[in-house]
Amino acid sequence: MVVVELAGGACITFHLGHAKPADDFTFFIRLLGSMQRQKRKARGEQGPALGPPRGRDDDARSECSVQTATCQQQLNSTPMSSVANDPKEVKKMFKMFTETMRRGRDFYAMRQDGALYDMECALSKGHDEFRMRWDGQKRTIPLRDMLHIRTCVEARKLGLGFPTDERCATLELQTGECITFKFGHVEACERFILCMRILVEQKRPHFASQGF
């Protein structure tokens, strides 16, 4: 089952029978959405993707976001206040997060001037790379190069030069570079921070000291 969620909040559900057709449908609809954004940008138009709505069901979406219903609905319906205190729920949420991120999701990245820019982000199959794609460009960041995933409160201490709120999460890299994403609601941001912290900790190399 695949759900096409429109910017206005309306949803259209498709039952495609098998996982492969659902994956193909998701990929091509995302591709069409990306092409439309490129056309608008070429014409100098601004679409609704640059201003994320505050609805509870919006994680970080562009004008037309395709979601795999089974994963996304479970993520959206799980309050962080109950998940964070239950390891079993955290494990379930983490699994749903990684499955969704392997397919790729639309995120809003914050520029230095605080403006929002939409891009597609995904995890590699082995969950060891964070991949970003925008305007025909792409960048791959190994998770081992990430120092920490910062909340808005932590990010403010970094002096990034733009304001952040409780819907913002910041990837702090080993080099000192920081990439901030803004989500549609607080719960989505908290899920991202929690799950990415788990991933980064898993992929961080550990070894015994060779000397002092």
Write down the number of H helices and E strands in the chain. Answer: 6, 10
Helix intervals (H) in the chain: 19-42, 69-76, 80-83, 87-103, 152-156, 186-203
Token digits of residue 210? 């060779």
Closest CA to 59 of 31, 78, 83: 78
**Number of domains composing the chain:** 1
Residue 191 CA to its chain's centroid (Å) = 10
Q: Compute how many other C-beta atoms are within 10 angstroms of the C-beta atom of residue 53.
A: 14
CA distances from 125 to 44, 50, 52, 61, 103 (A): 36, 29, 28, 22, 9
Tell me the per-residue pLDDT of 154-164, one tens digit each, with 9 for 90 and over. Answer: 999 999 989 89
Q: Say which CATH number the domain at 186 has.
A: 2.30.29.30
Token digits of residue 139? 């960048």
Residue 13 parent element (H or E): strand 11-14
**d(Cα 107, Cα 193) in Å, to the nearest integer?**
14
Q: Is the pLDDT of residue 11 over 50?
A: yes
Q: Are 81 and 25 in contact (CB under 8 A)?
A: no
For the beta sheet containing 137-142, the strands, ordered from the edge strand earlier in sequence to the opposite edge, are 137-142, 129-134, 116-123, 105-110, 178-182, 168-173, 146-150
Which residues form the domain of 61? Answer: 2-203
| Predicted local distance difference test score (pLDDT) of residue 80 | 61
Tell me the per-residue pLDDT of 58-110, one tens digit each, with 9 for 90 and over. Answer: 455 433 333 334 344 444 444 565 566 677 778 888 888 998 999 899 999 99
- Asked if the structure places residue 49 within a domain, the reply is yes
Spatial CB neighbours of 74, under 8 Å, sequence gap ≥ 6: 92, 93, 96
30 vs 198 pLDDT, higher one: 198
Q: What's the CA angle centered on 19, arms 61 and 124, to 5 degrees? A: 55
Q: Is the pLDDT of residue 15 over 50?
A: yes
**d(Cα 42, Cα 49) in Å, to the nearest integer?**
15
Mean pLDDT calculated for residue range 28-32: 69
| Predicted local distance difference test score (pLDDT) of residue 167 | 93
